[in-house]
Structure 1
Amino acid sequence: MSQTVDRALRILPLLAEGPANLEQVAARLGVHKSTALRLLRTLHEHGMVYRQQDQRYRLGTRLFALAQQAAENLDVREIAHPHLAALNERCGHTVHLAVYEDGEVLYIDKVESRYPVRMYSRIGKPVAITVAAVAKLLLADLPEPERRAVAERLDYPAYTARSTPNAAAYLKELATVREQGWATDFGGHEESINCIGAPVRGTDGRTVAACSVSAPNVVVGTGELLELLPLLRRTADAISAEYSGTTPPPLQKANS
């Protein structure tokens, strides 16, 4: 990278901390004020920085517009699919990716199990929002007032004896999911199907999608399924890193 480009790029995280004047920018870069002024003028011409009336510089609106445009053009399904396929290749079970849209949790990708007993879930189909692991992850990350409002307006069908019975129980479970960072559905929707899920996060740390591994209990028990949790979480972290352009965080223990 050229020295000029390097210096210009170093100005942006500096101004992200707050407005700074010419002297402060020059001192942080370790350059003469004339050099700093040249860089700031160029960034200003491209809308990357803005000079305030007090002669201090801040990040420009063009930078935020570019960031928003880039975020809107990201396709989490396209990014996630190779990771989901690799996860399926390693574990053999059904893998899903889901998002929360317009009050529903929808599957947007699925990689089928290699075993003959398969799930009937379909891409584009809403999930059972009160019991599905992916739904718990997506709703657990909502702001508290919205989370409570959603929980209180939902119906709570008794799919099985293990289904979530009411809003109070759901909110309690969402709090646990929010704290531990992963979720389960052990027979809550179908007695014979168990599932574990992990969140996919965006640049702001918020959950943008959730991925899961599901399997019939005739194929794998809950204990064996939970042993796949570290692998699932590594997959979710890898998707998050590629989606947000960051380094994946260190994996926590499954029981943390």
Structure 2
Amino acid sequence: MSQSLDRAITVLDELADGPKNLDQLAGRLGVHKSTVLRLLRTLEARRFVQRSGARYYRLGTSLFELAYRALDERDVRRSAEPAARELNATTGHTVHLASYEDGEVIYIDKYESRHNVRMYSRIGRRAPLHCTAVAKVLLAALPPDERDRVTAGIEYAKLTANTLSSRRALLAELARVAERGYAVDDAEHEEFIHCVAAPVRGPRGVVLAALSLSVPKVLLDLDGLLRLVPTLLAAAERASVECGWAKTPENAPGRTPGRREN
């Protein structure tokens, strides 16, 4: 690996957490300030970083341009946009689109709630694998060998009282997700938010992404959220058709939703 490239990537990663000065970056890299300054000048010339005041640096516009160009190249994001936007307009709740890649689930699109009470999330953020509805949908669709490998490597941090805290519990939940065709996050990731998600499929039924509705519990209880599952499934189906999925009687969505099984 190129040492200079590795250092430049480390600088960008550090600035992703907020502006930093030369001393802070040099300390993080363990190199002289002159070395960091050369990196910063190169990155600044290409607009990957920019100055923030007299002494600090922050991420520049080129990085955001690259990120959005990369997201736009994901055909599923473009193809699912009309269905996701309509789902957001119809329900008024937060809509996410997430994809799986190399053991991580990433939010690749988001449509904000119309309500004052909102959840904190952003495009490009990783979703915890064991306690989010989008991750459950995507993990349930993996080949068995890969699903076993991924679930074996999860730490199962207990984020709320409802968080699934073992591999055995998650695998049982993933089996239910595969059977019924949607996933539920019953305040497992955040105490005050619950969520439902459904798969977005492409040609041959391959799951390309997960489409979700996230709602604060103060606005809608679990039964109310589950009543929105048919609306979510219809939106996911529309997005899937746009992604090249052909609906047949054999691959129609799962059973009618009710309260989540224990």
SS in 2 for 1:204: helix
For structure 1, which runs of at least 5 residues remain unmatched after alignment? 1-72
Alignment: residue pair count: 184
Return the offset for 1:252: 4.9
Tell me, yes or no, if the aligned pair for 2:226 and 2:257 is still in contact at 8 Å. Answer: no
Q: State TM-score, norm by structure 1.
A: 0.69
Alignment map for 1:103-114 (pairs within 5 Å) = 103-114=103-114
User: Partner letter of residue 147 of structure 1?
Assistant: R
Shift of 1:166: 1.0
Structure with the greater alpha carbon radius of gyration: 1
Q: CA deviation at 1:146?
A: 1.1
1:224 positional shift: 0.7
Gaps of 5+ in 2: 1-72
- Displacement of 1:102 in angstroms is 1.6
Q: Which residue is equivalent to 2:93?
A: 93
* Distance (whole Å) between structure 2 residues aligned to residue 146 and residue 185 of structure 1: 22
Task: Give the whole-Å Cα distance in 2 for the aligned partners of 1:159 and 1:144.
Answer: 26
Q: CA deviation at 1:250?
A: 4.8
Whether the 8 Å contact between 2:205 and 2:245 is mirrored in structure 1 is: no
Give every structure 1 segment of 4 or more consecutive aligned residues whose post-TM-superposition deviation is greater than 2 Å. 245-256
2:222 equivalent in structure 1: 222
Q: Aligned partners of 1:208 and 1:158: how far apart in 2? A: 28
SS of alignment partner, residue 118 of structure 1? coil
Percentage of identical aligned residues? 46
Partner-residue secondary structure (3-state), 1:244: coil
- Cα 1:172–1:250 change in 2 (3 A) is closer
Give the Cα–Cα distance (whole angstroms) in 1 for the partners of residues 128 and 134 of structure 2: 10
Q: Distance in 1 between matches of 2:130 and 2:109?
A: 20
Q: Per the alignment, do residues 253 and 120 of structure 1 end up closer, same or farther by CA in structure 2, a change over 3 Å counting?
A: same
Aligned amino acid, residue 81 of structure 1: E
CA RMSD of aligned residues (A): 1.6
> Residues 251, 156 of structure 1: CA spacing in aligned structure 2 closer, same or farther, 3 A cutoff?
closer
C-alpha change, 1:247 and 1:169, in structure 2 (3 Å) is closer
Secondary structure, aligned partner of 2:116: coil
The alpha carbon displacement at 1:255 in A equals: 3.0
Distance 1:253 1:171, change over 3 A: closer
The SS at the match of 1:149 is helix
Query: 1:255 maps to which residue?
Result: 257
Residue 163 of structure 1 aligns to a residue in which SS?
A: coil
Which residue number in structure 1 is paired with residue 127 of structure 2? 127
> Residues 74 and 243 of structure 1 are in contact (CA less than 8 Å); yes or no, is this contact kept in structure 2?
no
* Residues 230 and 251 in structure 1, CA contact (< 8 A), matched pair in contact too: no
Q: Secondary structure at the match of 1:225?
A: helix
Give the TM-score normalised by structure 2. 0.67
